[in-house]
A and B are shown apart, each in its own frame.
Chain A
Amino acid sequence: MRRMGLAGLLILGLLAAPLAVWADEGSCIQCHAPQPGALGEPVALWRGSVHQGNGISCHGCHGGDPTLMSMEAMSPERGFLGAPEDSAVPSFCGRCHVGVEEDYRASAHGLALGEGGPQCVTCHGSHAVRVAGLDLINPQDCSRCHDYGRAGELRTAMEQTETLILALDAELKQLRRIGIAVEDWQGRLFALRNDFHRLFHSVDVDKVRRQTDTFQAKLAGMQDEVAELRAELNQRKWIGAGVVILLLAASGLFALLRQSYGRQENTE
């Protein structure tokens, strides 16, 4: 009887799990995901995006009330903003990405807003947003609006520092996998990476070149700290191996001691 009860609870739990996920996603996704075309596509694009990975759902950007299962969820009274006009996109994204918006607005890109200049979505896309990297600067995309030359220079100027950032990020992830607390380093690297990517939004090659040394010096400092930790971990490995060898030696000596007592007893 008790077994049946437990099985019943397990089945109920399994049935309720997808409902819980469903409820977390809110009414926006429940209604839009099954729809064809432009109404449903954003949901599929959003899945797997950096926003979804960090718990930012539809209402995080578009407003509205995802707890309501009616059209009122999309009423302005519920804070619904809908999709912004092209020229309003920087303010739309800038509600969260404050620093990036500031640099973008002061740049050649930002100053050309409304006159054919690009806004956030032009380069980053709107729903399938990924963690930004230098691959966003490429001849195909930049040549849609202007010659690639200057953009290529900017990419070259940023490449070395970006490579160092990615290498350090990979190193920290590896350290985390072996149980080392790396939150502080990850926070510092995130802040540095964010500042560095903000620099890109100025689209000013000379500014990037001027500030590269400062970024690389900070990265070198962090690399030294990580190298120090690596050296300590290596030292610990050797000490661990030494302890194992000493324990084996101690057990051997114990065996010999025991044998010695046994032999003396036999001879007497």
Chain B
Amino acid sequence: MDTGSKDFARRRALLATLLAGIGAVLTGAALYPVWRFLAPRKGAEAQDQVALSRDQVPLGGAHFFNFRGRPAVVLQTRAGHFTAFSAVCTHLGCVIQWQAAEQRFLCPCHAGLFSAEGAVLGGPPPRPLESLAVSLRDDQILVG
């Protein structure tokens, strides 16, 4: 190989190295958001689960609590039968109230009505209340 060819080869090796470096950075930049979207948050589920005592929820009554930073409610509709919902009205986002006598939820903003099962009974709400998973462990109610 003569001197001229060597120069060309060294020059191309340098250019290829620089290109490979830039390519690696760009690939990383493209893959990072995908990885961040797909990777589960560490311990998120355990942290997000809320434990309540059964005593906090009277029969036929409701207990409001904070779930993942937003208001939620748990009901005891029959003895030992608990259901939980987001306490945010699906109309414009106001916090609903429990009407024990009528066994239903009322939104004080625009009179949206929801049943104890979260279904829309009347008013402007377009969707039922968001239902939350409930499980029981000893004397605790686990929501989420």
Which of A191, A246, A257, A267 is in CB contact (< 8 Å) with B22?
Answer: A246
Given contacts A246-B22, A257-B15, contact A191 B93 (CB under 8 A): yes
Q: Does A264 belong to the interface (CB within 8 Å)?
A: yes
Q: Does B42 belong to the interface (CB within 8 Å)?
A: no
Q: Does B106 belong to the interface (CB within 8 Å)?
A: yes
Chain A residues lying within 8 Å of B94, measured Cβ to Cβ, are: 190-191, 194
Q: Is the CB of A187 within 8 A of B23?
A: no
**Interface residue ranges of B5-29 to A (CB < 8 Å):** 5, 8, 11-12, 15-16, 18-19, 22-23, 25-26, 29
**Interface residue ranges of B78-118 to A (CB < 8 Å):** 88, 92-95, 106-111
Given contacts A246-B26, A260-B8, contact A188 B19 (CB under 8 A): no
Q: Is the CB of B22 within 8 A of A249?
A: yes
B1–chain A nearest beta-carbon distance, Å: 12
Which of B5, B18, B29, B108 is in CB contact (< 8 Å) with A253?
Answer: B18
B73–chain A nearest beta-carbon distance, Å: 15
Q: Is the CB of B26 within 8 A of A250?
A: yes
A244–chain B nearest beta-carbon distance, Å: 11
Q: Is the CB of A263 within 8 A of B19?
A: no
Chain A residues lying within 8 Å of B26, measured Cβ to Cβ, are: 243, 246-247, 250
Residue of chain B at shortest CB distance from A257: B15
Given contacts A190-B92, A191-B93, contact A96 B111 (CB under 8 A): yes
Chain A residues lying within 8 Å of B19, measured Cβ to Cβ, are: 250, 253-254, 257
Q: Is the CB of A264 within 8 A of B108?
A: no
**Interface residue ranges of B32-70 to A (CB < 8 Å):** 70
For chain A, what secondary structure do more than half of its interface residues adopt (helix, strand, loop), or is it mixed?
Answer: helix
CA distance A256 to B92 in the complex (A): 59
Q: Does A239 belong to the interface (CB within 8 Å)?
A: yes
Chain A residues lying within 8 Å of B23, measured Cβ to Cβ, are: 250
CA distance A239 to B107 in the complex (A): 44
Q: Is the CB of A267 within 8 A of B4?
A: yes
Residue of chain B at shortest CB distance from A60: B124
Residue of chain A at shortest CB distance from B17: A253
Q: Does A102 belong to the interface (CB within 8 Å)?
A: yes
Q: Is the CB of A186 within 8 A of B93?
A: yes
Chain A residues lying within 8 Å of B110, measured Cβ to Cβ, are: 96-98
Q: Is the CB of B95 within 8 A of A264?
A: no
Chain A residues lying within 8 Å of B29, measured Cβ to Cβ, are: 239, 242-243
Chain B residues lying within 8 Å of A34, measured Cβ to Cβ, are: none
- Footprint of B on A, CB under 8 Å? 95-99, 102, 184, 186-191, 194, 198, 239, 242-243, 246-247, 249-250, 253-254, 256-257, 260-261, 263-264, 267
